[in-house]
Structure 1
Amino acid sequence: MTYRICVDVGGTFTDLYLRAESGNADSFKTSTTPDDFTLGIVNSVEKAADSYGVTVRELLADTEQFVHGTTVSTNAIIEGTTRDTALITTAGFRDILWLRPEIQKNTYEWRPFPDPFVPRESTYGVTERITAEGDIETELDETQLRDIIEQIRDDDVTAVAVSLLWSHTNSAHEKRIGELLDELAPELHYALSHEVNPTIREHRRTSSTALDAAVYELVNSYLSRLSHELRSRGFEGDPLIITANGGVMGSEEVADSPIWTVDAGPTMLPVATRQLAKSELDSNDVIALDMGGTSLDMCVVTDGSIPRSTDAVVGDHYMLGIDKVGIKSIGSGGGSIAWVDDGNLLRVGPESAGADPGPVCYRRGNEAPTVTDAALVLGYLNPEYFLGGEMKLDRQAADRAIRERIGSRLGLPPLEAAYSIYGTTIQDMVNGIKTVTIEQGIDPRNYVLSGGGGALGTFVVELARQLQIDEIALPKDAGVVSSIGGLSSDIRQDFVSSVFTDSEHFDHDAVNDTLVDLESDARAFFDRAGIERADQSLSFYADARYPQQMDELQIELPVSRVGADDEQRLVERFHDRHDSTFGYAMPDESVEFLKWRVDARGSTDDGDPLSTPVSPTSDASDPAPYAEREAYFGESMLTCPAYRSERLTADCSIDGPAFIDDENTTIVLPPDSEATVTDAGNYLIRT
């Protein structure tokens, strides 16, 4: 039997999702090991092997695909542990990272920005100038450049980012700088902006190049260590790495462009939920949520389209600049710490207890109560069956922490204090979801609520009620939803180039020459990835706007080359998209086109990872609980049946109040809610 595996490393737990050739699937969780993430990965593989009654070597030898989501680059940027990096840019533009483009969304909210990722003293301006049309106006001063390289070597940095003005239209000077760095400082890694992010807007391009250079050594070292650990245990292939564009790439491909690993893990969330909502409810509109130990990740899928943006930031507001899946995160997770502020108001997060020490009930030294502690005190969690019984939770310790840290300050008994933590968490999440729905003109009542993560099941029904959403769809293995998405994602890369033209003076030759080059790059990518022609898919896009607008909309091209007749169809598509996005269009205005891109996708999926058929039984509508427990839902303690997820059969129905206990999550069904198990083993919940 062969297997396909995805391992996603989170802030608290490392999730593994395994799908066998037979179609059966299982999920496993182990604690994340921050000092060495590969240890947590190996632990999760060992847990899966034990469950299947085979050795780790036997399991990995029969694994035909190993997908992995890593937080190495993200953590390094957030924690400030990246390699010291220098920046070479055009003379006179040393402040390119200081003068960032930004709109203050709230006029009355003062938000000071942190210093740039690369300090100004490590930023060097070299004399050269290329025009917007790609003409060399001022030759590169190589004598000055040699002096700059010597200064950089004296600064004891380990990486260099090179981002010159208009290098995406003519890369000659950047290439020459790379040649001189190879000659004079071969020990330094360097990143060239025309290779990392060859697009217009110098701040985004420079920021992404600097980040790429800074995480290069860390990511490559990690991927090398991961590949070694897997090979030494029997895996013979090249691991596929989850990337920020919502796809996966081979580890060697990612090693050359490590910026694609930054904040990549959550991008699998909409991939999995879109597939689930379509297969179970025939819906293309999904509010996707992933609630883990440290945060709640959110994404809105409309008409089956996963949003992407070049405005994504990471860490202290450092702009990624690449075309990343639009995920928003807030500090609401199972490990989020509850506290009372100076105004005697209850707060939850954003600080988290993380994986180590974790919530108080883990008994690892933390004394500050968390969301998980509150759920335990309320009776929502089985303290004997956390992680399938591998970890015993200490309810008394959680009760004591809530009483001392929260209840005593607010004058509430522990039970009501815990319910206040629960309610505050719900409201924080509702407010976060509203920012990606109502504030964007989206009515959440018309969407399916879907997702997972270890903690979402505890909150999802109350969340849906607050948002007036009727339908909830959770995968059978909801606790590892991002890992499920990893197995259903395509090998993917985006190829982009900037060529400015407009609808009044459309430059067909320049645009079509660019599209030819981009398609050639995409085909070469497929060849490197070993994707057969039948499994290759190319989509062509343009980024367009009305004159004087600051942002563009991405429009799919009707054809792979733009002829005279196609140009008008493209313009009409832009007007329609602008109207559907902003509520108006200006058909008498000309349209400007700034960027052209090819989205290359290679299919690797041999089946639907969200479809694990379960057999119905004659008494499916009346499943038997395995236990009962007392739980508090705001008025009084209620005796609630608890069901083991693996014992539920297709078409069975469970009325709340009740609990569905899984090894990796718990689904809380409050009063007046109902869950049904589908033929594929997934959960449909109605409020």
Structure 2
Amino acid sequence: MKRIGVDVGGTFTDLVLWDDDGTVTVHKTPSTNHDPSIGTMDGIKVLAEQAGIDPSEIDMFFHGTTVATNIVLEHNGSDVGMITTDGFRDLLHIARKKRPLNYSNYQDLPWQKWQLVPRRNRRTVPERIDAAGNVITPLDEEAVRREVRVLRERQVEAIAVAFLHAYRNPSHEQRVKEIILEEYPEVFISLSSEVAPQYREYERFSTTALNAFVGPKTSTYVANLADKAAAAKVGEDVHLMTSAGGLVTARSASEIPVSLLTSGVVAGLLGGCAIGKASGFPSVITLDVGGTSADVGVAPDGRLRMKHLLDTRIGDYHAMIPMAEVDTIGAGGGSVAVVDEGGMFRVGPRSAGAYPGPACYDRGGVEPTSTDAMMVMGWLREDSFLSGTMAVKRDLAVDAVREQIAEKLGTSIEKAAMGIFTILSHSMTEAISLHSVRKGYDPRDFSLVAEGGAGPLYAWQIAEQLSIPRVIVPGHPGITSAVGLLTTDIRYEVPTTVWTASDDPDLALLQSEMDRLATEAGDQLRADGIPEQDVSLERSVDCRYVGQGYELRVPAPAGEITTEWVQQVADAFHEAHGRTYSQRFDDKSVQLVNIRVTGVGTVPHVEIQEIESGGTDASGAIKTTTRALFWERDSADPVWVDTPVYQREKLLAGNTFTGPAIVEQFDSTTIIGIGQQATIDKVGHIIIERASA
């Protein structure tokens, strides 16, 4: 079976073709931002040619995309109208009444400055359902028709429908959908009861509006890609990565495109989990460093952690959707270094981007970046940048670092370059600490998986700072997100709000709702053609102590809902609360707020193959020696060292060498520092650890 993973980024589209015989073919191509499906299909054709196959021989097509994310971040979504309950017109404007700057009278509130739905297009109609699902005020259907016609005259491209307590009783929203289809059939429709069927009005309204905002453009893109893939006979269907780490079909992605937010970011974490398991170290911290940003994820025992639904934001907006715990900071190869007017030395988050890019690119950029610093330090060489396919100039990097950093600080160019690297690596170290130490996990119990084009350049130093025992550099660091697409299953999560407590649980409600969710999740998988034997169901519950305002998600056992079942859930919550907040209250009642059923449709996963063994001697992989700048652990004095440069493709299982050393390959460069040792494991990953004394 041949499977392809395609991850579309803002600058490059990464592709990997995996054959069951162990053959791996990788390719990078520029993204076509006006229509990413063009770059994707062109890349697939080139990749197939490299592999010596016809595109029609590809059995499965997995895809991660930033299309929906970029629409939100760039504020260029569709014109949206909203129909909501009388009295709730301004809920999107008021939000949670929180301000980014608490004491400033002069600030733009992002959700007000860049509104998802302009006030004139937020239309209200008489209707009311209470929290128990009882109809208090019947839906005024004539009012609905009148407002839909207003929105049609204004030529909105999408309509969001969000009513009070629709998560408990969706009948009014469903009737509005029927009326919209009669009055304005070509418009994109987004119902809160389908997008986010849970309590919390503002977050539910915001998520529904976001779905409408990204819906028309994203669904058009997905449809174009699916049509082109079908025409080329690539795979049976296009499966897209969601923010929760599962795959959905093109049909589902077109209906709820908000689920695709952070798609590619999560794929990188999944790829890191698979890489850690293949090397025998399942608990991983992933560091995916690109040109503009660094993505950090923590997966104890190779399991994804999910964000709290009040923390799942994209840009300036709340998105109450399942989202894996991965965060992004502005730190990458293009991060710009400056000495500001106050004499402060800063690096990032502003990036030079691909154009003009770092000074060494010779595209007109004059500001020094972290890539320029590594050129100065000798870690990146002119004749090996992207295996020599991209021309760069070291002297331009040297001039930029000297003139704009070293001379302004009154220091040497070596210390200036080292400072750029150190500041940026410190930012990444703090991000990892935030998501590990401060959330109850000890970095010393994890391995650091270095991903992206720049991740293996930073990982050695970050591991030193956090006492992480080892760094794992995968065979193809630059396309790890594409690999991650091939390591997961089709997943549909179906939630609902229940409100019951562990000391007096409503067992009948829990059982009936759990059964309904299981049926709905199973039906979605069957609609995608998943065989019954490949379907499984997972349960989880959002819990809190009675009186708290925030929940933690815990896994729930299978089987009949009994008082023992509820106690098992409560015990799991006590443990999760103790680990997260360092306190637990076993004598307190636990409130079960939301229940969830995740339908899992198992698809074949890639298996990382073992490579040829070659003994401990790695000298056969040395292609040259270069002068490079290094420093001892905790030392502030860099020194120039004659450093061997290894060719990654020639390294064999069992090869061992000590730092300082540089390992070059097409999609990345790996650094091994002084006092560190690198070993090639059986699947070809570089394992970097402290050398034995």
What TM-score comes out, normalization by structure 2 length? 0.93
Q: 1:358 and 1:42, CA in 2 relative to 1: closer, same or farther beyond 3 A? A: farther
Matches within 5 A, 1:175-324: 175-283=174-282, 285-309=283-307, 310-324=309-323
Deviation track 1:543-566 (CA, whole Å, cap 9, x = no partner) reads: 111111111122222224312332
Q: 1:426 and 1:102, CA in 2 relative to 1: closer, same or farther beyond 3 A? A: farther
Q: Say if 2:20 and 2:606, in contact at 8 Å, map to a contact too.
A: no
2:353 corresponding residue in structure 1:
354
Deviates more, 1:184-193 or 1:220-229: 220-229
Quick check: 1:625 aligned with 2:615?
no
1:73 corresponding residue in structure 2:
68
Quick check: 1:82 aligned with 2:73?
no
C-alpha separation in 1, matches of 2:54 and 2:388: 24
Q: Say if 2:535 and 2:599, in contact at 8 Å, map to a contact too.
A: yes
* Amino acid paired to 1:681: G
Q: 1:445 and 1:223, CA in 2 relative to 1: closer, same or farther beyond 3 A? A: same
Q: Say if 1:215 and 1:259, in contact at 8 Å, map to a contact too.
A: yes
Q: 1:51 and 1:75, CA in 2 relative to 1: closer, same or farther beyond 3 A? A: same
> What's the CA shift for 1:104?
8.2
Matches within 5 A, 1:32-71: 32-52=31-51, 54=52, 58-71=53-66
C-alpha separation in 2, matches of 1:606 and 1:423: 38
Quick check: 1:384 aligned with 2:383?
yes
Q: 1:27 and 1:674, CA in 2 relative to 1: closer, same or farther beyond 3 A? A: farther
> What's the CA shift for 1:618?
4.7
C-alpha separation in 1, matches of 2:234 and 2:530: 20
Q: 1:109 and 1:590, CA in 2 relative to 1: closer, same or farther beyond 3 A? A: farther
C-alpha separation in 2, matches of 1:4 and 1:102: 48
Quick check: 1:132 aligned with 2:131?
yes
Q: 1:618 and 1:144, CA in 2 relative to 1: closer, same or farther beyond 3 A? A: closer
Deviates more, 1:209-218 or 1:118-127: 118-127
1:113 corresponding residue in structure 2:
109
> What's the CA shift for 1:5?
1.1
SS at match of 1:28: strand
Q: Say if 2:71 and 2:214, in contact at 8 Å, map to a contact too.
A: yes
Matches within 5 A, 1:451-600: 451-600=450-599
Q: 2:93 aligns with which of 90, 98, 123?
A: 98
Deviates more, 1:570-579 or 1:341-350: 570-579
Deviation track 1:378-418 (CA, whole Å, cap 9, x = no partner) reads: 11113222223221222222223333333343334544322
C-alpha separation in 1, matches of 2:563 and 2:248: 36
SS at match of 2:495: strand
Provide the identity percentage: 32
* Amino acid paired to 2:67: V
Quick check: 1:643 aligned with 2:638?
no
> What's the CA shift for 1:617?
2.2
C-alpha separation in 2, matches of 1:344 and 1:44: 46
Q: 1:619 and 1:78, CA in 2 relative to 1: closer, same or farther beyond 3 A? A: closer
C-alpha separation in 2, matches of 1:390 and 1:180: 57
Deviation track 1:270-309 (CA, whole Å, cap 9, x = no partner) reads: 22222322332344x3211111111111111124431112
Q: 1:649 and 1:320, CA in 2 relative to 1: closer, same or farther beyond 3 A? A: same
Quick check: 1:615 aligned with 2:604?
no
> What's the CA shift for 1:578?
2.2
* Amino acid paired to 1:59: D
Q: 1:301 and 1:486, CA in 2 relative to 1: closer, same or farther beyond 3 A? A: same
Q: 1:390 and 1:130, CA in 2 relative to 1: closer, same or farther beyond 3 A? A: same
C-alpha separation in 2, matches of 1:109 and 1:340: 27
> What's the CA shift for 1:515?
1.1
> What's the CA shift for 1:105?
10
SS at match of 1:235: coil
Q: 1:65 and 1:358, CA in 2 relative to 1: closer, same or farther beyond 3 A? A: farther
Deviates more, 1:568-577 or 1:199-208: 568-577
Q: 1:108 and 1:468, CA in 2 relative to 1: closer, same or farther beyond 3 A? A: farther
Deviation track 1:503-527 (CA, whole Å, cap 9, x = no partner) reads: 2331111111111111111211221
> What's the CA shift for 1:587?
2.4
Deviates more, 1:668-677 or 1:3-12: 3-12
C-alpha separation in 1, matches of 2:76 and 2:334: 23
Q: 1:428 and 1:575, CA in 2 relative to 1: closer, same or farther beyond 3 A? A: closer
**Structure 1: gaps spanning 5 or more residues:** none
C-alpha separation in 2, matches of 1:36 and 1:175: 33
Deviates more, 1:676-685 or 1:444-453: 444-453
Deviation track 1:538-596 (CA, whole Å, cap 9, x = no partner) reads: 11111111111111122222224312332233322322332233222222222211111
C-alpha separation in 2, matches of 1:372 and 1:561: 57
> What's the CA shift for 1:169?
0.8
Q: Say if 2:382 and 2:394, in contact at 8 Å, map to a contact too.
A: yes
C-alpha separation in 1, matches of 2:457 and 2:570: 47
**Structure 2: gaps spanning 5 or more residues:** 632-637
What value does the CA root-mean-square deviation take over the aligned residues? 2.3
SS at match of 1:325: coil
2:670 corresponding residue in structure 1:
667
Q: Say if 2:610 and 2:684, in contact at 8 Å, map to a contact too.
A: yes
* Amino acid paired to 1:308: M
C-alpha separation in 2, matches of 1:77 and 1:365: 30
2:657 corresponding residue in structure 1:
654
C-alpha separation in 2, matches of 1:477 and 1:25: 10
> What's the CA shift for 1:229?
3.5
Q: 1:304 and 1:613, CA in 2 relative to 1: closer, same or farther beyond 3 A? A: closer
Q: 1:619 and 1:457, CA in 2 relative to 1: closer, same or farther beyond 3 A? A: closer
* Amino acid paired to 2:300: T
* Amino acid paired to 1:243: T
C-alpha separation in 2, matches of 1:385 and 1:221: 40
C-alpha separation in 1, matches of 2:353 and 2:226: 26
> What's the CA shift for 1:363?
2.9
Deviates more, 1:183-192 or 1:507-516: 183-192
C-alpha separation in 1, matches of 2:42 and 2:460: 32
SS at match of 2:460: helix
Matches within 5 A, 1:6-21: 6-21=5-20
Q: Say if 1:10 and 1:292, in contact at 8 Å, map to a contact too.
A: no
What TM-score comes out, normalization by structure 1 length? 0.94
Quick check: 1:368 aligned with 2:367?
yes
C-alpha separation in 2, matches of 1:34 and 1:377: 33
C-alpha separation in 1, matches of 2:108 and 2:450: 34
> What's the CA shift for 1:234?
4.4
Q: Say if 1:515 and 1:560, in contact at 8 Å, map to a contact too.
A: no
C-alpha separation in 1, matches of 2:355 and 2:389: 16
Deviates more, 1:377-386 or 1:317-326: 377-386
SS at match of 1:626: strand
